[in-house]
Structure 1
């Protein structure tokens, strides 16, 4: 596949995510998909992550900022926003709705094979995400160091 075709696949996947169109998963994600970030294997486990996210963050939206494609890989940087108005089930626990609005930058790397997402990696700051949800706070020293001044 050309890099332009691979870029189009990723754009379509993010569109499917933003429009909550999980029917497109079968078309865009390989059955043996490997999610290296969350340790999930197979399309159903990957799909379940999105179903849980849609409940917790029904307004979640990802805007593509940058995209780079080379050979069978596509890197995409997105600005993501969402409000946690539903229960968030994650890593064996759950969090009642906080009402917190989150804005964060995320980078995804996908390997494309046979016209579908075959492997994926996510690069973001879990600590920043958890901090914005109100689950984690910086220490006094951390607040001092990262105050932005």
Structure 2
């Protein structure tokens, strides 16, 4: 597939979860999908991550900022926003709703095989995200640097 075709698959995938159309996962994601960030394999575990996120952040939305494709890989940078209004399970910790709005920048690398997303990596700016949810606090120096205190 061409780089432009691969980019179109990623755009369709991001639109699918922005519109909560997880049925499109079967079309867009390889059944043996490998999630390098969360160290999981299989489309069902991958889908579960989104279901958990949408329960906790029903208004979660990702806006594409930039996208680069080469050979079988697509790099996409998104700005993500959401409001924590539902329970969220994060690495075994159940966090009750905080009502806090969060925003973060995320970079995904997707490998496309046979017209489907087959493998992925994620890098995000989750320190501020975790801070806003009350899961971590900044040191005094960190507060000066990141929260304007």
What's the TM-score once normalised by structure 1's chain length?
Answer: 0.96
Instruction: Tell whether 2:34 aligns with 1:30.
Output: no
Q: Per the alignment, in what secondary structure is the counterpart of residue 8 of structure 1? A: helix
| Residue of structure 2 equivalent to 1:89 | 89
Structure 1 CA distance for aligned equivalents of residues 17 and 76 of structure 2: 14
Are 2:104 and 2:126, in contact at CA under 8 Å, matched by a contact in 1? no
Instruction: Tell whether 2:118 aligns with 1:111.
Output: no
Runs of 4 or more consecutive aligned structure 1 residues displaced over 6 Å after TM superposition: none
What's the TM-score once normalised by structure 2's chain length?
Answer: 0.96
| Cα distance, 1:85–1:28 mapped onto 2, change above 3 Å | same
Q: Per the alignment, in what secondary structure is the counterpart of residue 15 of structure 2? A: helix
Structure 2 CA distance for aligned equivalents of residues 145 and 99 of structure 1: 24
Structure 2 CA distance for aligned equivalents of residues 46 and 98 of structure 1: 25
| Cα distance, 1:60–1:147 mapped onto 2, change above 3 Å | closer
Higher mean alpha-carbon deviation, 135-144 vs 72-81, is at: 135-144
Structure 1 spans left out of the alignment, 5+ residues = none
Name the count of aligned residue pairs.
149
| Residue of structure 1 equivalent to 2:14 | 14
Are 2:111 and 2:120, in contact at CA under 8 Å, matched by a contact in 1? yes
Pairwise CA RMSD of aligned residues?
A: 1.3
Structure 2 CA distance for aligned equivalents of residues 80 and 104 of structure 1: 5
Structure 2 CA distance for aligned equivalents of residues 75 and 98 of structure 1: 32
Structure 2 spans left out of the alignment, 5+ residues = none
Structure 2 CA distance for aligned equivalents of residues 77 and 148 of structure 1: 25
